[in-house]
Chain A
């Protein structure tokens, strides 16, 4: 049996935390016997721990870190298809392939996530309205099930298991490897247009008007603004830049100057982030981004603004924080506006909220995005917050919306089940690949994802 260590683990929000038995295999073969040989009741895989909540923690059970199973296995430079182990990070992919003219097909707002994590949460990016989720670009994957079998799954073979695994938060097996199709780009830069919008109605109509012309679209919303300014925002619209658009950088389209990376060496006291400082930040952001055209911005600054500060989650102090993400279907904009009103009235918002329009839903059984508007914001944990969020959850449900497992810490299982109509199908696949429930996590138990009974 490979060595393990007991340690407290949490998600990126640093809340909640549980003691877990952590394994960190360095060889592929070490996984073969892990289910069979271990006395532990259950396991969950873990990537870079960038999910905010409790998807990748498992108190009383095992957590299998994939960080050392991060080998790239092959690359087809005609088709842009990368075959790699699940522990490879998106940062490594960008570092390796962007200089050769390839970029991620879909990227979340941080590059410090693994391929396994990107599949298991079927992550989305600013291009969802055009390119769908990460899972849509996975050609196939190999999955080690608790029965000790390695299955190759794809949309054509074992498709039920494939679509349960895409978005399946690690509950169908250990993703060993995947083949992912990258997209061709001509430079490491984006050409970005900004639109400053005075309220939520202007924001929503601008998003709708522009989506067809831009591969990437996201609005940064000042969610402390109230009344007539409710939902004022800066809409940021981008397309990959061609060398011709780069001006003086034309000759070196893939070169980006390395940035100094500051870190957050200690937990900020709760005082630093108070409604006043947050309000000032939001107002400054809005003021600093007037409507403008054609700004050339490097990929790192554009896609990963927060990655330039290591451990930025520590600014929320010891109590941690949560990220709340809700999506409302098209036609239910009043739900979104209602949520904004609740949040701004409670003054519980953080730096910035992000609003985006999702494209059509994909086939992943628990995959999050569906056609509609998605709002995301960080909220520091404080007394009474969880009860407040439970009220928000009911509001979201009432308007046909849903919450995202990559962020969730708090949803009630019944609310969750009502938001995910394909949960029953998911459970059926799970019973097939994991009949003895050897895969579990705090989230799986909390939301009763594995079984429909109350266990």
Chain B
């Protein structure tokens, strides 16, 4: 990344505390930022914070992942905001509600799929176009370990993330031939507002720890990064439990 080290980075869903910490990692390295969120006021506050702490320029833009028809214009705005010098984009936003709610109410199930998966296709294809033309840059997407295997307690969210994971794998393959790197990031449990107060969490990382690991993975051009790293092995085991046995388990 050293070649485009001062190019702007776009962070989508910056009101996530992981995203905020990740934005700060890029800012500390001197990158100007485009910070997008559906809550523009908060995005602006986060921008002010990063400007004071790191002295880089930031712009805040509104983005609602579920409003597909605004995405093309959003990507244009985003490029405009950084003077067409975008070095990379990180898709951080995501949506998770209680599994039982998503089972009972298709509106919630659909939002889970739309925000985590459909919107990624809608937005990242536009960014892919831009990076293809430039023949450089990166696209990072925050998926989840939940997408590695469907479990009764979380499979609607998990399947949307699985869709995102597969989508990013394909995009990586395609973009490789255009000099653009695509990375899939799969966090385990992180202490954010998505998980605050949930029971049965273990090995919980702080947003700052998670963001540091993500930043390193992006800089090192990893293809798939589990965050923290040990989730790779936890998921390896979980993926290898045979179905006849897995279906009997309560996970």
Contacts and interface: CB of A to CB of B under 8 A. Distances in A.
A72 interface: yes
Interface string A91-124: 0100010000000000000000000000000000
Interface stretch (B38-46, B119-127, B233-241): B38-46
Given A26-B15, A26-B17, A29-B41, A72 B196 contact: no
B-side binding surface: helix, strand, loop or mixed?
A: helix
B53 interface: yes
B30 to A, nearest CB: 15
Given A5-B197, A26-B193, A74-B52, A68 B17 contact: yes
B76 interface: no
Given A3-B197, A73-B52, A96-B53, A28 B45 contact: yes
B48 A71 contact: yes
B29 interface: no
Contacts of A24: 193, 196
Contacts of A4: 197
B103 interface: no
B49 interface: yes
Interface in B21-36: none
Given A3-B196, A5-B196, A27 B48 contact: no
B52 A27 contact: no
A72 B53 contact: yes
A27 B39 contact: yes
Interface residues of A, number: 17
Interface string B127-145: 0000000000000000000
A75 interface: yes
A92 B54 CA distance: 12
A68 B190 CA distance: 14
A4 B53 CA distance: 30
Contact of A27 (B42, B49, B53, B197): B42
A29 B42 CA distance: 9
A74 B48 contact: yes
A73 B48 contact: yes
A283 to B, nearest CB: 40
A-side binding surface: helix, strand, loop or mixed?
A: mixed
B158 to A, nearest CB: 21
A146 to B, nearest CB: 23
A92 B46 CA distance: 15
Chain B interface size band reads 10 to 19
B141 to A, nearest CB: 22
A71 B14 CA distance: 13
B196 A27 contact: no
A65 to B, nearest CB: 10
A65 B44 CA distance: 22
B42 A28 contact: yes
A68 B207 CA distance: 11
Interface in A1-56: 3-5, 24, 26-29
A22 to B, nearest CB: 8
A444 B174 CA distance: 63
Contacts of B15: 26-27
Nearest to A28: B45
A122 B65 CA distance: 44
Nearest to B48: A73
Contacts of B46: 71
Interface string B213-230: 000000000000000000
B197 A72 contact: no
A363 B48 CA distance: 33
Given A3-B193, A4-B197, A72 B17 contact: no
Interface in B166-206: 193, 196-197
Contacts of A3: 193, 196-197
Interface in A231-288: none
A28 B49 CA distance: 13
A29 B37 CA distance: 15
B49 A73 contact: yes
A282 to B, nearest CB: 36
Nearest to B193: A26
A75 B42 contact: no
Interface of A: 3-5, 24, 26-29, 68, 71-75, 82, 92, 96
Interface of B: 15, 17, 39, 41-42, 45-46, 48-49, 52-53, 193, 196-197
Given A4-B197, A27-B15, A28-B45, 6 more contacts: A26-B193, A28-B41, A28-B42, A72-B49, A74-B48, A75-B52
10 contacts: A3-B196, A5-B196, A28-B41, A29-B41, A68-B17, A68-B193, A72-B48, A73-B52, A96-B52, A96-B53
What are the 9 tightest A-B residue pairs by CB atom distance, in nearest-first order?
Answer: A5-B197, A71-B49, A72-B52, A3-B197, A72-B49, A75-B52, A26-B193, A96-B53, A73-B48
